[in-house]
Chain A
């Protein structure tokens, strides 16, 4: 009986582990709005095309998260947080800002980075990984800069003061 209970407990734990790998952890309620994206989207269709549309943007967002998690400096900053949610909201964020027509459902930059303790060095490291992901997607350098110009002012809200 004890063995059965133990087995059941292990099974349940494994099940919840599997579930948590696919589902997002709850966050405190907030008002969803595209305004949370922190910038107006780029309306130039050439930029969206340079990023290979929504598919390219998804690859870039996922690759950026992969590179950040593998980074010895950034990994420990990201790992305590919900990576399922991050991948979704980062993809939405990029897609919205690049004029891909997505809705951004995440929190604003100040709230979403409040507990991360991000310093300028970390912000810049993520920019480097994003550059790498954009390079791998063959986004021309000038087009990368169009996007980074939209993201750069978020430094004010992302970096802990």
Chain B
């Protein structure tokens, strides 16, 4: 099942990219500032917690672009770090990779897993834009719609099992719709994600309370203050699979500033609720992103 789900987008990728590449010479860059979005904590284009339908990198439909990011979220009792990169192919397909680290610090001692114990996972993403253009289709209500998968491989499988997790790897499947309402200076996004990930996958996949994937939503709204400055808020629902610790919905507010066409800084505030029995996990969201 997992292989079939992964193979489908790869076939679409090969067809879309093959046809486009033959037709034109490669053109580097060309997107307007911020229209490549920013990189979410899972490595694909989005904002902070949410994944969007936009394709990463600065390239248009005539070229190939790349982006890289480094994000830190110092929470109340933990430190979250994510970094990775994405490749945008012809504004059609996005391949992404992210590595996430969740450092329990001194909280690790209280949890009985040792000071500084760090949960980690790798996330490999493929996103394909199906229809619509978030920016140019200003005369239509149709948003830009993309589908994607994120294959997540967590470390510390034995501990995940002991905590009640069913698996140390999982596959998220999502549909995302992004619309820029230019005449109102608004950017809106809604994503529906089928996932069994516990704390994004850092605590494994599935659990003693709920084993299967469930449908979760990610909603984002942002306002353009200039063509380089975007402020917004996001809400993301999450599964609650593990019996030993409740998992809450997350939300954030953020500002993204395109310092240059190639450098974007994101600063915000995130609340993730209870994580591994420690309640009210919140903190700053800081991200540095480059794109070409």
A interface residue numbers (CB < 8 A to B): 39, 119-121, 124-125, 127-128, 131, 141-142, 145-146, 148-150, 152-153, 155-156
Tell me if B135 is interfacial: C-beta within 8 Å of chain A: yes
Query: What chain A residues lie within 8 Å of B60 (beta carbons)?
Result: 119-121, 124
In the bound complex, residues from chain B placing their C-beta under 8 Å from that of A156 are 136
A155, B136: Cβ atoms under 8 Å? yes
Q: Per-residue 0/1 for B171-185: is the Cβ within 8 Å of any A Cβ (1 yes, 0 no)?
A: 000000000011111
Q: Is A128 a contact of B32 with CB atoms below 8 Å?
A: yes
Q: Are B226 and A141 in contact (CB under 8 A)?
A: yes
- Cβ of B134 to closest chain A Cβ, rounded Å: 10
Surface stretch bound by A, among B23-31, B159-167, B192-200 = B23-31
- The reply to whether A153 and B227 form a contact with Cβ atoms under 8 Å apart is no
> Which residue of chain A has the shortest Cβ distance to B30 in the bound complex?
A121
The answer to whether B32 and A124 have CB atoms under 8 Å apart is yes
**B225, A149: Cβ atoms closer than 8 Å:** no
Q: Give the distance in Å from the alpha carbon of A125 to the alpha carbon of B30 in the complex.
A: 8
Q: How far in angstroms is the closest Cβ of chain A from B184?
A: 8
Is the Cβ of B182 less than 8 Å from the Cβ of A145?
Answer: yes
**In the complex, A142 Cα to B223 Cα: how many Å?**
10
What is the interface of chain A mostly: helix, strand, loop, or mixed? Answer: helix
> B182 is contacted by which of A120, A121, A124, A149 (Cβ under 8 Å)?
A149
A152–B132 Cα distance when bound, in Å, is 13
Residue of A nearest to B31 (CB): A124
With A120-B62, A121-B29 given, is the CB distance from A141 to B225 under 8 Å?
yes
Check if B76 is an interface residue, CB within 8 A of chain A.
no
Q: How far is the CA of A18 from the CA of B119 in the complex (A)?
A: 75
Set of chain B residues within 8 Å of A119, measured between Cβ atoms: 27, 30, 60, 62
B3-41 CB mask vs A (1 if < 8 Å, else 0) is 000000000000000000000000101111000000000
B-to-A contact residues, CB < 8 Å = 27, 29-32, 60-63, 133, 135-140, 181-185, 224-227
Residue among A127, A131, A152, A156 facing the most chain B CB atoms (10 A cut-off): A152
Give the docked Cα–Cα distance between A31 and B142 (Å).
Answer: 32
SS class of chain B's interface: helix, strand, loop or mixed?
Answer: loop
Q: Which of B27, B62, B185 contacts A145 (CB 8 A)?
A: B185
A149 vs B226: C-alpha distance when bound (angstroms): 15
Task: Knowing A119-B30, A121-B27, A128-B32, say if A152 contacts B135 (CB, 8 Å).
Answer: yes
A141 and B30 in contact, given A39-B139, A149-B138 (Cβ under 8 angstroms): no
User: Please, could you name 24 A-B residue pairs with CB atoms under 8 Å apart, sorted by A?
Assistant: A119-B27, A119-B60, A120-B62, A124-B31, A124-B32, A127-B32, A131-B227, A141-B225, A141-B226, A142-B185, A145-B183, A145-B184, A145-B185, A146-B183, A149-B181, A149-B182, A149-B183, A150-B183, A152-B137, A153-B137, A153-B138, A155-B133, A155-B136, A156-B136
Chain A nearest CB, measured from B226 CB (Å): 5
* Residue of B with least CB distance to A141: B226
A sample of 15 more A-B contacts (CB under 8 A), given A120-B60, A121-B27, A145-B182, is A39-B139, A119-B30, A121-B30, A121-B63, A125-B30, A127-B32, A141-B185, A141-B227, A145-B185, A146-B183, A150-B183, A152-B136, A152-B138, A155-B133, A156-B136
Q: Chain A residues near B62: list those with CB within 8 A.
A: 119-121
The smallest C-beta distance from A148 to any residue of chain B, in angstroms, reads 6
Closest residue on chain B to residue A146 by CB atoms: B183
Residues of B within 8 A of A153 (CB): 136-140
Q: Looking across the interface, which residue of chain B has its beta carbon closest to that of A152?
A: B138
Residues of B within 8 A of A148 (CB): 182
Residues from chain B with Cβ under 8 Å of A131 in the complex: 227
Least Cβ–Cβ distance between A131 and chain B, in angstroms: 6
Query: How far is B138's CA from A121's CA once the two chains are assembled, in angstroms?
Result: 18
Minimum CB–CB distance for A32 against chain B, Å: 23
